[in-house]
Chain A
Amino acid sequence: MPKYMLIMRNSDSVENYEDMDFEAIINAMGAYNESMMKAGVLLGGDGLTDAAQGSVVEFTAEAPIVTDGPYGEVHELFNGFWTIQVGSQEEAVEWAKKAPLGPGNKIEVRRMTDESDFADYSDNEYIQKEKGWREELGTE
């Protein structure tokens, strides 16, 4: 069963939690998380702290360039994520639709890679590796 990451993003203009009832937000998020737990789909997730404390490492020049937050070019911030295991992209989208989020927020729904994504590349390296293991352990 595929795993999906629900990526919470919002435009930097809406990051004013101090104007909101923080406890109400905690309650709404808590209920949402609990509903995913009770459906047996939630694997994990975390929120991120203030972007002002963050850094961006950019790879455009010869050497990586580090920018401290808030970041000039970035207008949409990644604020947290959930990982869920569900049957389909549609099901992941249905869960995302239930998130208690208001205007200015987005959830990006992306399938996480699994073994099947690397099927074409696994053969040689792993066969060699396993051969080595077998010889080493005398199970050839």
Chain B
Amino acid sequence: MSADPRRVLDAVWRMEGARIVAGVAKATGDVVLAEDVAQEAVVEALSSWREHGVPANPGAWLTAVAKRRAVDAWRRRSALDDRHRAMAHDLSEATEDAWEPIDDDVLRLVFTACHPALSRESQVALTLRVVGGLTTSEIARMLLVPVPTVQARITRAKKTLHAAKVPFETPDPPEWPARLQTVLSVVYLVFTEGYAATSGDRWVRTDLAEEALRLGRIIVALLPREPDAWALLALMELQASRFGARTDAVGEPVLLADQDRSRWDRAQIERGRAALARADAVGHGRGSYALQAAIAEQHATARDFADTDWDEIVVLYEALGRISPSPVVELNHAVALSMAVGPGTALAMVDRLAAQGALRGSHLIPSVRGELLAKLGRADEARAELSAAAALTGNEREAGVLRAKAAALGG
């Protein structure tokens, strides 16, 4: 195969981009400069490789060029004080030999990209860009926003890091747990953005979720003693294992109860279960991600919908509701309760939620209430609820399903 330099460059950037930026950031103490010069190295690589062919060690080549560019940048700004002079000397020693980036540098990069001074949008864009090694156009395609929007987010992120004088380091022990949670929530946001997408090309959205999985795998490899990192990976693996069955041949969504379980990815389920077992082994009790993963595991290991261990799922939701209470968790808890105990008990729980004014304006409560009322044989009330839910949902497909259910109740 005569390799197309452009495609090789894209591949190498995905593989090594994070390490290149991290290595230069470590040498210069400046992530923003590191990202800039790494991009310059990419541009230079394209013309050089087209002319001279792809070098034997493309990652080392890019690093060496990026470091040279960093020194040039200091020179241009006449910023070569003694400290920079010493660095410039070290950097000029950079060769194209094999180089071993230090994992800690990549970890610093992850924490920098998810720094709390940045907006959530900026954290996501910067993480995909510098840790995931994605191009701006790839990110734009996956997030369904125009390229200039992604560029603006990354530029703003760099300016913010600069203004906040964010150091290139991992957080101190007292800050560690909160900062790690931020990193994990950014990764999970990327995943759910792809997983729960109601718009866009299905394959593209799966790509985004898979990028999040890759980030999750990187994080557990760097932080193998962090139970929450393993638990998040487990949750994503288990949820992604159902991708193949979530839509039918014509792209219509298929509910969990109706999914063809033979299309679930067994190898991925096993990876998810192994990750959850790791989380349990290194942790002291399950947190929110681990409980959600355990619920997903119950579904993944049930032979069919009827065979699901609903009692166990109810217990898991109960624990999840105490650790991270939310109306959506509560509602799912009610659905599990209706399967385990019966619709009457579940309805009382949903009515309590509705009385609190939770999820007002959303179709979620009326659609669940409608289902439960139908099971209890209260057809008129059920029809009214399902129709109300259909009017509230913004998703036309879902509205159609709800209207069909209402119509099926006669009347």
Q: Encode A1-42 as 1/0 by CB contact (under 8 A) with B.
A: 100000000000000000000000000000000100111111
Contact of A1 with B210 at beta-carbon distance under 8 Å, contacts A40-B221, A94-B12, A127-B249 already known: yes
A126–B215 CB distance below 8 A: no
User: Which of A41, A90, A139 is in CB contact (< 8 Å) with B214?
Assistant: A41
Q: Encode B296-313 as 1/0 by CB contact (under 8 A) with A.
A: 000000000100000000
A38–B106 CB distance below 8 A: yes
8 Å CB interface, B1-27 against A: 1, 3-4, 7-8, 10-12, 14-15
B258–A134 CB distance below 8 A: yes
Shortest CB-to-CB span from A91 to chain B, Å, is 4
- Shortest Cβ distance from A42 into B: residue: B217
Confirm or deny: B385 has a beta carbon within 8 angstroms of a beta carbon on chain A: no
Which residues in A have their C-beta under 8 angstroms from that of B11? 86-88, 90-91, 93-94
Which residues in B have their C-beta under 8 angstroms from that of A73? none
Contact of A1 with B207 at beta-carbon distance under 8 Å, contacts A44-B267, A139-B257 already known: yes
Which residues in B have their C-beta under 8 angstroms from that of A108? none
Which residues in A have their C-beta under 8 angstroms from that of B12? 94
Which residues in A have their C-beta under 8 angstroms from that of B58? 94
Confirm or deny: A130 has a beta carbon within 8 angstroms of a beta carbon on chain B: yes
8 Å CB interface, B214-229 against A: 214-218, 221-222
B218–A90 CB distance below 8 A: no
Confirm or deny: B254 has a beta carbon within 8 angstroms of a beta carbon on chain A: yes
Confirm or deny: B381 has a beta carbon within 8 angstroms of a beta carbon on chain A: no
B218–A39 CB distance below 8 A: yes
Bound CA span A52–B1, Å: 34
Confirm or deny: B271 has a beta carbon within 8 angstroms of a beta carbon on chain A: yes
Which residues in A have their C-beta under 8 angstroms from that of B15? 39, 41, 86, 91, 94-95
Bound CA span A63–B106, Å: 56
Confirm or deny: B342 has a beta carbon within 8 angstroms of a beta carbon on chain A: no
Which residues in A have their C-beta under 8 angstroms from that of B36? none
Residues of A in contact (CB 8 Å), total: 32
B244–A38 CB distance below 8 A: no
Bound CA span A140–B407, Å: 12
User: Which of B203, B271, B408 is in CB contact (< 8 Å) with A116?
Assistant: B203
Bound CA span A122–B262, Å: 13
User: Which of B8, B103, B215, B222 is in CB contact (< 8 Å) with A90?
Assistant: B8
Bound CA span A123–B221, Å: 39
A94–B8 CB distance below 8 A: yes
Which residues in A have their C-beta under 8 angstroms from that of B14? 86-87, 91
Bound CA span A30–B206, Å: 31
Bound CA span A127–B252, Å: 11
Q: Encode A99-137 as 1/0 by CB contact (under 8 A) with B.
A: 000000000000000011000001100110110011001
Confirm or deny: A43 has a beta carbon within 8 angstroms of a beta carbon on chain B: yes
Bound CA span A123–B14, Å: 35
A133–B260 CB distance below 8 A: yes
Which residues in B have their C-beta under 8 angstroms from that of A39? 15, 218
Bound CA span A18–B285, Å: 47
A90–B248 CB distance below 8 A: no
Confirm or deny: A79 has a beta carbon within 8 angstroms of a beta carbon on chain B: no
Bound CA span A108–B390, Å: 53
Contact of A133 with B258 at beta-carbon distance under 8 Å, contacts A94-B15, A123-B249 already known: yes
Shortest CB-to-CB span from B143 to chain A, Å, is 16
B103–A85 CB distance below 8 A: no
Shortest CB-to-CB span from A33 to chain B, Å, is 11
Confirm or deny: B164 has a beta carbon within 8 angstroms of a beta carbon on chain A: no
Confirm or deny: B355 has a beta carbon within 8 angstroms of a beta carbon on chain A: no
Q: With a 10 A CB-CB cut-off, give which of A87, A95, A127 has the most chain B CB atoms.
A: A87
A139–B258 CB distance below 8 A: yes
19 other A-B residue contacts (CB within 8 Å) besides A37-B217, A137-B257, A139-B255? A1-B211, A38-B106, A38-B218, A40-B216, A40-B217, A40-B218, A40-B221, A43-B271, A44-B271, A85-B214, A88-B7, A90-B11, A91-B14, A93-B1, A93-B3, A94-B15, A123-B250, A127-B250, A133-B260
